[in-house]
Structure 1
């Protein structure tokens, strides 16, 4: 059975309607055993894709559709890459990061990418040169073979784009084998209209007429036996190669349960637990007017649990961040949530609530019978957040600290406005659609249609409105754009 490897999801922003959780469930029903992710230049869906496949009993292959730069060609080139092991996955991350940070990636910057399988899609630089300069095509092919190894570079064949005789002959002469690929960027045939609208959204343009809806470049997920039969009849060797590669690429396990907590740089080579204990007992006298046996017992109890659960470094890092803020007169919050139940957090000035005075439970915050990361909310004013971020990067290392991304999704009112703009509606007409949706928090278009008579009347008015609403239903909830989260920061080892 053909593995579906070339799957573009909605994380390739405005290029696909494929939601990962829905994809996995539908793919299983349509007979697939192995499923691949191959988003354009990004890997943000990799972990959720991998876990969704595991939960559904499917084999997952992690790939990347990479646009790479060549110094001898102005336009970017395309290549499909699939990780054969964990090292290959790390190489995909490196390639994606270079592309996203620098805007371009040069394969020549990498000595070897031999832990990746590479597939040349129908639109690739070799085919480009074959029409113009055979020597250059040969030179570039040999370069790619040196990077990925000869046995791991294939040329892609697809039901939709046939190779020319010259291309097929060239690859045969160069001993490059075929590889069966089938690009999928929608799940059902009816979603092709949404791809056409996405193209306009991405380019900030409008449709000239409704006929354009049928011109979207959407390719849906065919049943596994149907697409397998096509390659069995027409490209048997390509099918065999795709199955062999997928089989190897599904052997590696994504290490999702590692403990990657960073370490606080403790002075004098002390143990983190010893330093934390000494610090807390020193600070206790400054934070509590009358230190009684109750405080000593509670502090020792909490420190024992913190050490048992492996969070000594965690508390030292949070203390260090808050200490920097206090030394630099940056206002911080008094502490919210269950962290207020920790005496350790109070004596370290992470929180400003004395849990003994208010009889607050530490077990609501940390409990060895229920292993979870501590959750301490740090309130830092946004006008000085950059100072704290810069301090953390300097202290723990640029490559150990990262801000997290957040995805803006197309909610009910926003998606109607977006689609209305592509359909060429005026601002007042778009407002009418938006106002027809009730102001209920997180309302869906389906629910709005049930509740709002004015929305139902708008949809029923004419064919254009029916199409507009149909497309909006498909796009609703998909990622629209990505930005930097206002406060989320990751520190790892």
Structure 2
């Protein structure tokens, strides 16, 4: 294999990407390719479908995202100053990079959203480990500075990104798409690469599968922007070149820069993220005193049971309650669900402290005395003869499921 697509938008780049994940692996195989990246705009919600589709066909999935970088701080949201973020391609080299990429994308939506989900240089710097970055399309920071005639600032920006991601982890991205501005940018990128020693790579910013799909893609952009095809000012790509090109087409387009083509394969070889769908990966609960989740759960249940025993069923002894709790805790801890119990306890505690109405608990979770002691539920399982084994038992390995109602107002 002589070339790998590292910049590609699927149908999950909503109303922009037109490459169906169900069809992508087949097309890649037809082109003799064994790997490909998914870099949807500002989002990763297509990553799992992409990963599964590629793996099913024996192809290597490279997980990435085309993030939006705020010119100032990602929390600045002032009029036109902050409306046009730059583009940047991020690729996960390993699991640490995958985690950092997920964090960055999540943070961009939660705290950085202003027309687009945005990050900034400082966020990238603090979560750059395990990531490989490309300078992106004409909307990238470096291409924009080049087109504005700010060549020295473009060099500074390139060096800044290299400093953020580390030497060998940032690449200047060339494209060949028949757009005059791209030719200007490509020439400048080569000069910047020669001056800074930052390596070049080649992409095609794929938005649709075949060249004949260009017209349909323009219709899609009209739907996104609320324009008609007859509008001369409508958003458009200004080229029919943004399709999944063959290795031969890409090599021919960059015949003078073979290192840019070769670097796509080198980058692909470095990116190795393996997702495990066969094992549960539950979040960890940070205990306030540094104890293990199991010890903290025992402590809370013991204290909670003392309070609950003040209104226990009269025909059931305190010893029966304690024995039942010990049995339950043994099962909960052995099956690795101590953190889960603590997390559910924590958000119910928080809701009650904030005056948010919480239901008494429904379903088989009401059979857990530990949940009753933690006030996750308000139903005494011993009083009503409820079996804990219906909720959780060693013989049936499945996720526990508390049905809790919260007032949404």
What displacement does 1:8 show? 1.4
Residues 241-272 of structure 1, C-alpha deviations (whole Å, 9 max, x = no match): 1101110122x445775443314446999922
Determine the C-alpha separation between the residues in 2 that align with 1:125 and 1:320: 43
Determine the C-alpha separation between the residues in 1 that align with 2:361 and 2:383: 15
Partner of 1:248: 270
Partner of 2:42: 41
What displacement does 1:289 show? 3.7
1:1-400 alignment, distance < 5 Å: 1=1, 2-20=3-21, 22-24=23-25, 26-28=27-29, 30-70=31-71, 76-93=85-102, 95-97=104-106, 99-100=108-109, 101-102=111-112, 103=114, 104-107=118-121, 111=125, 113=128, 115-123=130-138, 124-130=140-146, 132-149=149-166, 151-161=168-178, 163-164=183-184, 166-167=187-188, 170-171=191-192, 173-174=194-195, 175-187=197-209, 192=214, 194-208=216-230, 222=244, 224-227=246-249, 230=252, 235-250=257-272, 252-253=273-274, 258-265=281-288, 271-279=295-303, 281-282=305-306, 283-292=308-317, 297-323=323-349, 325=351, 330-356=356-382, 360-383=386-409
Structure 1 SS opposite 2:327: helix
Q: Which of 342-351 and 221-230 deviates more?
A: 221-230
CA contact (8 A) 1:84 1:249 kept: yes
What displacement does 1:375 show? 0.9
CA contact (8 A) 1:302 1:343 kept: yes
TM-score normalised per structure 1: 0.63
Determine the C-alpha separation between the residues in 2 that align with 1:65 and 1:268: 40
Relative distance call for 1:326 and 1:220 in structure 2 (3 A) is same
What displacement does 1:5 show? 1.7
Give the RMSD, CA atoms, in angstroms. Answer: 4.1
CA contact (8 A) 1:54 1:60 kept: yes
Residues 93-138 of structure 1, C-alpha deviations (whole Å, 9 max, x = no match): 4543454322444326655747433323351444444452443443
Residues 157-215 of structure 1, C-alpha deviations (whole Å, 9 max, x = no match): 33424634843652453244431212222345665455334323332334449xx9998
Relative distance call for 1:330 and 1:109 in structure 2 (3 A) is closer
Relative distance call for 1:168 and 1:24 in structure 2 (3 A) is same
Relative distance call for 1:342 and 1:242 in structure 2 (3 A) is same
TM-score normalised per structure 2: 0.74
CA contact (8 A) 2:69 2:119 kept: yes
Structure 2 portions without partners, runs of 5+: 73-79
Determine the C-alpha separation between the residues in 2 that align with 1:144 and 1:327: 45
Relative distance call for 1:139 and 1:32 in structure 2 (3 A) is same
Determine the C-alpha separation between the residues in 2 that align with 1:114 and 1:328: 38
CA contact (8 A) 2:133 2:165 kept: yes
Structure 1 SS opposite 2:97: helix
CA contact (8 A) 1:196 1:217 kept: no
Structure 1 portions without partners, runs of 5+: 384-493
More strand by share: 1
CA contact (8 A) 1:192 1:213 kept: no
CA contact (8 A) 1:117 1:152 kept: yes
Relative distance call for 1:296 and 1:197 in structure 2 (3 A) is same
* Runs of 4 or more above 6 Å deviation: 212-220, 266-270
CA contact (8 A) 1:272 1:313 kept: no
What displacement does 1:294 show? 6.1
Count residues in correspondence: 379
What displacement does 1:36 show? 0.9
